[in-house]
Every structure is written in C-alpha cells, then in structure tokens.
Chains A and B, each alone.
Chain A
C-alpha cells in the first residue's frame, strides 16, 4: 500500500522537524496512541489501540528514525504487532521544504499488513490508512502551530499548550 500527501504548516522547518522526534507530540498525534516512550536516537516504543473494519486490537510496536537529515528530511519506520489481529509495518519518508514563513511537509508512506488484518481488512486498509494519516497530520499541525481558539481535541490542546513555550524557544534559538 502506498500513500502520499502533503500539508502546509505555519512553523519553521526546525520546529516541525524537532516536533516529529518528540514522543509527547507523537503520542498526542498518533490516533489511538496509549503510550509512547523512547527517543529519536534509540527508537520509540508505542502502544496503539485501533479498529480496522471488524478487527480491533492493541498494537505494540517499535518506531525508528532512519536517514535523519535535519531539518530537510527523515524516514520513520515501524512495525506493530497486534497479537491475534496480525501486524502492520511500514515506513514514511517525510520531506520538509521552506514555504514562505512556514513549511511544506510531504509524506510518502509505504505500509503492509498481515494476518487477520490482511484477511479481513484488506479491502478497507487503504481508506483506513488515509484516515489515519489525515488525523495524524491534522493533530500534528495543531500541536506545532499551537492551540487554536476553541481547539476541540483536548489532548491536542493540552500538549500544544504544554509545548508552546518549548517550541517557541526552539524557534527563537
């Protein structure tokens, strides 16, 4: 499965890049993420609960950053095991280019699923993955750009508020 997309984010590349390596940001942005620990150098460990069509499962996975080229690009690879539900694995090449004051984030995802996910969910996996990606980058944008007035997702609002000072410092730095 392949998925490509892009999103304009009103923040400098360095901020966007750093946010992508922050476990708290990732936890807030990955839909269904229950836990996210680790760091960019050693890799992250995540627990994600998701429902794909008829298959609901808790995925335990590892995420690693490959080919880091700050602040222009990085590759995120990961795999998650969902027990009886099967597994998902894949990678995303993320490219950041300056776009005026902000950043154009482009992503190119390649993913595969196995086990029950493939057996029962293969017809809907493309749509599911697109939804996941949309949700992720929407939340990511929210966190990086700071909480909007009336941010509806409390988790995003909280993390965004918490990170605001940090991100601003980084941006000034």
Chain B
C-alpha cells in the first residue's frame, strides 16, 4: 500500500492551493508606496553604432522622473560572467564587457539603450518614444560559421574575433580518437542543428528595486531561481553593495526553466535607480520584451561521428559543435556547451574514446544560456540520433545496438571525466519495452497504415549529470562560485519546524516534498513543517535551484541540519528521562529509552530547549536551531529510456504524437506524484522543441519569432497522456537521501525519441530520409518526403 506521509507519499502540493486560487505572491504583486516605473528603450537593430542619444525632449514629458543611458553607468561594473572556460590552447575565453545599458554600440535586437523612469508606465513608454536616437546600423553577425571567418563583422571590436573559445575535450585523447576512427569498421556521420529556444516561463521577469534612506539598505525583489547568487553578483561585481546592505527577495516565481538563474541588467538597473532616486523603481517585462531579453537556450550546430568495430561495438566518438553565445556572455553561458555538454557525451555507453570540440561564437543575437537540461539535451540529442542512424546503416535493431554497448558495471569512469556511481540501463530499457508495448507496435503500425498514415517508433536513452555540483571540481573547471547548498532548521518551542533553505522553489514543489523528509526523520506530521526560501534575509547563503539539484544538494543540507537537531534533542531527552544518550530512540515523534516504556514527546523536548528549567545547561546550549552546508562529492547520474510513437500524415507532413513512455531511474523518490509532474513537464518541453518551437532570426539579425503568433508553444492537444515509470531505482551512493534529481530528465530524454520516431515512420513509407532538423514541422517533413 502506498505511504500516506513521509518519504514515498504522493502528497498533494500544498503550494497549489495559493497558485490555483490566485493568492500567490509574485514579484509583480509587490508594490511599494511611491514607486516609479521604468521602461527600457531597446535596440531595434541587431548591430549598430550609437552616434547620439538625445533625451532632452523626452525628459520634459509629463511624469518623467529621470532618463538613464549608458553614460550613467560608466565606472560601474558590467554584468559578470560566472564561469570561465579555458580553451584548447590553455588560454582563457574571450570575455567582453556587458554593460547594464548599451555603451557605444548596440549588439542585439532588444539591447537596452535607455531607461526612462516615470510616475507611470504609460508616461515612461510615451517619453521613450520621444528619445531621439542616431544609431548607425552595422552589418549583423548572425551565422556562426560565417562569424568565425576572416573579415566577418565583429560583435565586440576590442577582442578582434567573434570566437569566444575553441574548446577541446579531452584534448590529450584527440590523437587516440583519430586513430580509432582510422581503424573503424564503420563510421556514421550526422550533421544537425539543435534549435534555438525561448524558455517562456508563464510569469515574465519582474524587478522592483527599493532603497531605505534611513538604513541605507537596498532591496531587490526579483523573479529569480537563486536570490543569493543575484545578491553576490550584483552586489560585488555591478553595484558595489556589500551583502549586509543588500537584500534580494525572490517570492513566488512562476516558472524559471533556467532562464531566471542569470543576473540581468534590469535587476541591476532597478536597484541602482532606486538608490539614485530615493524611490522604489519597478519593471515588469512584457511578453515581447521577454522574447528579446530573456536568455535563450540551445542553438548548437553539430557534426557528430560514431566509430564502430566489426561487431558493432562503439569504439570512438567525436563531435564538433558551434555554440551560439549571443551578443554577450550571460551568467553561466560558457559552461553549457562545455562542462554540461562534453562530459555527457559518453551517454549510457562504454565508448572508450571520445573527443569533443566546441567553438563558442558571439553573434548579434540575444545571449544564450542554460535552458532546462542545459547542454545535456544537446549532448543526448546528437548521440542518440547518431546511434539510430548507425543502426539503420548497419541493419541492426536500434534497441539491441544500444543494449550491446550499455555500461553495466558501476562505478564507471567515462573517458569524459565523470564517474557514474550507479545505474541499471538494461532495467530501464526492459521496463520501457514493457510499458510502451513494443510487442504490439506492428499491429498499431498496420492500423495506422490502414488510415493512410505512417507510424514510427523511436527510442532513446539518456544519462544526465545533475545535483550540481562538487565545488572543488567545478572550481577546477572554471566556475567562479561554489555549488554547495545550505539549510537552517529552526525548531520552535512548541515543536513546529521551519526549514530555511537556499534552494528556491518555482514550480518544483519543495514546500511539499521537503517537509516529507523532515516528517520521515522526526515522525511529526508534515503540516508541522514550514519551508522558507527565496529571501536572502531569511535563509543562509545558498546557491539556488537549477541543474536538478534541489533535493540532492539542498535536501541533503536539510537532512544534515535535521540530524544535528535530532542529536541535540536526544541529549535533552536523555536528560529529561535520566537515561543515557546512547539509549535514546526517536520514532513517530517521541523519544524513548531503548528497552523501557519511558518516553517523552517531541514537543516536550522542544519546549525544554526554550524553557530550560530542567536542562543540561552545563553541557549544551538552550534552543533548537541548526544550520548545515552540504557540498556533494560527485554529480548525480539519473538515467532512463524513452519511447515515442508518432503518426505522420504523408499528405501534409504533420506529425502527431500517439504515445510517449518514459522510464527513469531517479534513485530514491520522495514524492512520486511530483516526480511524475516534473517528468510530464519536461517531456512537454521536449516535444515542444522537437515539433514546434523555434527562435528565428533573419539575415539582418532581426528577431522574427517574438510572439506566440510565430513562436509555437506546445499546447495540450499537441501532447499525449504520458506513461511514466520510475520503479527502476539505483540510489545515489553519495548523498544521504540516495536521490538523483528529476527536473530536467524529461526535456533531455524526449527530443531524440520524437525525431527517431519520425524518421522511422518515414522509412516505413519508403522515404530514405536520414535526418530532419528540429522543429520537425509539417513543411520540413513534407519537404523531406518529397525530396
């Protein structure tokens, strides 16, 4: 029987009550008395030289408080990059400045040029129209391969190139990989593009800057996945405000998907302007602004080659990728195509030799950074597509080819620098074969054919490295931050528990799942446990939520703090019962002395800690509050196998998803229902990437897809009911909960399954199509079918 509380129970999400009844407290719900509004005048050319900005007429418009331009930010820091990649020659990446407001040049459509602060948003917008701009349009850098050719226009003149870095991984293996290719019995080559995406969280970005003239403190309310990181980056690198004078609050946040990790210009601007003007300043992004100012995702152009021996064993793999950085380096952009991508190229397979080359390129487009999966979807897509192509070329079953090359012994050190702790790839594949009903596929295909449709089945596996990350390791790899997590567990006098976590919840359900862990450990009901997050004034320094890390890292910190609490509470209980501390057991919310019927309730011990009349004051302090910081010793490695069945209408090229099955090994699971939901959402976004979504620029760098008329988000009718299973569990060996993380898996594992299924469908109809780039739209499918 399923559990009804604690670890393993499918508790309904407590936060949904406020989210679904319109009582959430989002950043845009925060209004400060007397606040002004800012409207950003943004570039409508992709690349241009700013000859002049005349704000005189605009500044005289009604309600205008002040107009800021790049000149107001001279001498103030630019937006910092949090990760430095070292190129294959040992040189640091090119790191051009990223001003808060454009200085000298505009570098992408949407680059903020001026900020108009006024009493109302309408007044600010009207005044922005009156700003006289003289911008001389320059040739735009759009195509990545052309951008690195001699003579290309330069996004950043000072660095003399559009190449941010040329990364080789592992450079020392390059020769051995070449040699393996020269000896291969078969080589499969695939060239593809991983389409540029826009994250499109339901809540657009918002920032409210406030300044307290009495204390001199600044406060920023912002839509962030990691308020402490924003406080550190903005305080230390942009505005020069020490942490004790700067508070960052990220209240309810309506989805992030990576795009709300980064420190953005608008946050720094509102905090800066509030102090300058002695008045709160608010910015709320419109959806159009979001398309041209939220960091985009993906946008890789890749050539991948797989070498096999005569027995179809993978012997080597090499890939060459051009990764779009956009016009500036967003906070973690350099890490995405490198350490979050190259280290995943082994996948689930024991390929002994791998070489990954990545050229990161500046273009006159919106900056590109992490988006759900971040590097791992790009790695998985190319690997699982090239394996499918190899199977077809060799005339072998794609599932059997994968199985034959599976890693089966753990721990397993890959040739790309990571060590998988646990996994059972045959088990997830076995489960997939069962729940996706492979046996019934041929009958379903016949049914489809009888309706004039082509049916295809696509399979892929995935591995991800998440639970990000061991600080000492990422430090060596170029991270300019530690990636631990923190938690303070505060037990109140009457026994209630407050957990102040550095993890941020913006849809992941922490407020429900974290109390389940505490409930399991102490034996008190979940409703006695409150989760506090998203406020630097209330939680200890934390690194926030991304990379499927909250439970694996933040949850582990909470467990460590709760263990300290329990150890101290046992001392108090021992004192109260006049027993030896070593004999005290905690079960179901009560401390008992082993082998006796003596017990004291949890609440009595808590009360004693705060009313220490009868208390071992000579040994321990009063109170019951503990903090722990947890730094993982390794990444976690969730894995899985996904299957998609599609129908293709040969008349129109339209693809419909008929079924989608996912088997994931997430290790131990705290709330199965939330895990299901995370996988559902991830697959939905993966199907969106595979079939619908595409961020398009024209050759002049004009953004063409900047509304939902042109950027196709998946809708309910585009996705099937999913079959999701996570019964295959190989617990993580190095965190106290044995959990692996589930937030990104769906988006990582689903795009190749969809495309593999479409290609399979086309082959069943006699169309020898080897690849179609995502999104696999009706026009692309039809064009591929009709040569």
User: Which A residues are in CB contact (< 8 Å) with B702?
Assistant: 112-115, 118-119, 122
**Pick from B288, B700, B709: contact of A123, CB under 8 Å:** B709
The answer on a CB contact under 8 Å between A112 and B700 is yes
The 7 closest A-B pairs by CB, nearest first: A115-B44, A119-B706, A118-B702, A122-B704, A83-B129, A86-B44, A114-B44
**A side interface size, CB within 8 A:** 14
> Residues 78-89 of chain A: 1 if any B CB is under 8 Å from the residue's CB, otherwise 0?
000001101100
Q: A163 near B: Cβ within 8 Å? A: no
Q: A116 near B: Cβ within 8 Å? A: yes
Would you give the shortest CB distance from A37 to chain B, in whole angstroms? 20
Q: How many A-B residue pairs lie within 8 Å, measured between CB atoms?
A: 51
**B side interface size, CB within 8 A:** 19
**Prevailing SS type, chain A contact patch:** mixed
Closest residue of chain A to B125 (Cβ to Cβ) is A84
Q: B437 near A: Cβ within 8 Å? A: no
Q: A120 near B: Cβ within 8 Å? A: yes
In the complex, which residues 697-711 of chain B have their Cβ closer than 8 Å to any Cβ of chain A?
A: 698, 700, 702-707, 709-710
User: Which B residues are in CB contact (< 8 Å) with A87?
Assistant: 44-45
Residue picked from B129, B702, B706, B707, most chain A C-beta under 10 Å? B702
**Prevailing SS type, chain B contact patch:** loop
The answer on a CB contact under 8 Å between B707 and A119 is yes
The 6 sampled A-B contact pairs (Cβ below 8 Å) are A83-B129, A114-B109, A118-B704, A118-B706, A119-B292, A120-B710
Bound-state Cα–Cα, A21 to B681, Å: 60
Would you give the shortest CB distance from B40 to chain A, in whole angstroms? 12
The answer on a CB contact under 8 Å between A116 and B700 is no
In the complex, which residues 677-711 of chain B have their Cβ closer than 8 Å to any Cβ of chain A?
A: 698, 700, 702-707, 709-710
The answer on a CB contact under 8 Å between B129 and A119 is no
Would you give the shortest CB distance from A85 to chain B, in whole angstroms? 9
Q: B322 near A: Cβ within 8 Å? A: no
Residue picked from A86, A113, A115, most chain B C-beta under 10 Å? A115
The answer on a CB contact under 8 Å between A122 and B288 is no
9 extra interchain contacts, Cβ-Cβ under 8 A, other than A118-B704, A119-B291? A112-B702, A114-B44, A115-B45, A118-B703, A119-B292, A119-B705, A119-B707, A120-B288, A120-B710
The answer on a CB contact under 8 Å between B129 and A84 is yes
Closest residue of chain B to A84 (Cβ to Cβ) is B129
A-binding residues in B (CB < 8 A): 44-45, 109, 125, 128-129, 288, 291-292, 698, 700, 702-707, 709-710
With A84-B125, A119-B292: A114-B45 Cβ-Cβ less than 8 Å: yes
User: Which A residues are in CB contact (< 8 Å) with B703?
Assistant: 118-119
User: Which A residues are in CB contact (< 8 Å) with B709?
Assistant: 120, 123
Residue picked from A87, A118, A120, most chain B C-beta under 10 Å? A118
> Residues 104-143 of chain A: 1 if any B CB is under 8 Å from the residue's CB, otherwise 0?
0000000011111011101100000000000000000000
Bound-state Cα–Cα, A6 to B705, Å: 32
Bound-state Cα–Cα, A19 to B382, Å: 60
Bound-state Cα–Cα, A115 to B291, Å: 12
Bound-state Cα–Cα, A25 to B702, Å: 33
